[in-house]
Structure 1
Amino acid sequence: MVQSSLIPTQISAGFHALSEPLRLQIIDLLQHRELCVCELCEQLEVSQSKLSFHLKTLKEAGLVRSQQQGRWIYYSLNLSKFVVLEQYLADYRRFSSIAPARTCQQ
């Protein structure tokens, strides 16, 4: 199981960031390659100000990274943060009883 005291905050922030459909679309686009804001705006058909808000949320959750190249900022996935979320869910799958409820015998 995940043990660090910082992990619950990371997990909560990660799932919060993934709870919005537009942010999921951003994640889907970044799966394939690094993209600049202008490319994301064009593909998602949203304004830069709206996109910037959602990218900030994803970045604060640690799910995306940004890198400035000249006057453009390029975004990519930070896969290590997805591993933390995946491990959190895997622990539930591994340690949860999916079988029918057990009957206690006394």
Structure 2
Amino acid sequence: MRLLTVLLVILLALLQYRLWFGQHSIADYFRQQEELRTQQASNQELEKRNRLLRADVKDLQQGLEAIEERARNELGLIREDEVFFRLFSQSAASGGQ
């Protein structure tokens, strides 16, 4: 009976060691949970960016207004019948003096 008790205590100790310190331990579980939360946050940011890009692509595919707006803002283009004025402030024109 004593031998059986000693064997069961040793078995329990080995199982406890594996539970707390071995492969697939509780520490690994908590580390993986943290990695999962980090990855989910990253995925949410990427999903948000993808939604914005899809909306941008949809606008560019459907109408000329989005294309015209991009051409004006990013390339500085104007129409033939338009006049472009650029205004400078007084401090910028005098070289900052």
TM-score bucket of the superposed structures, by smaller chain: under 0.3
Larger relative strand fraction: 1
Flag the structure with higher helix content: 2
| TM-score scaled by length of structure 1 | 0.25
The higher relative CO (CA closer than 8 Å, separation ≥ 6) is in 1
Q: Which has the larger radius of gyration?
A: 2
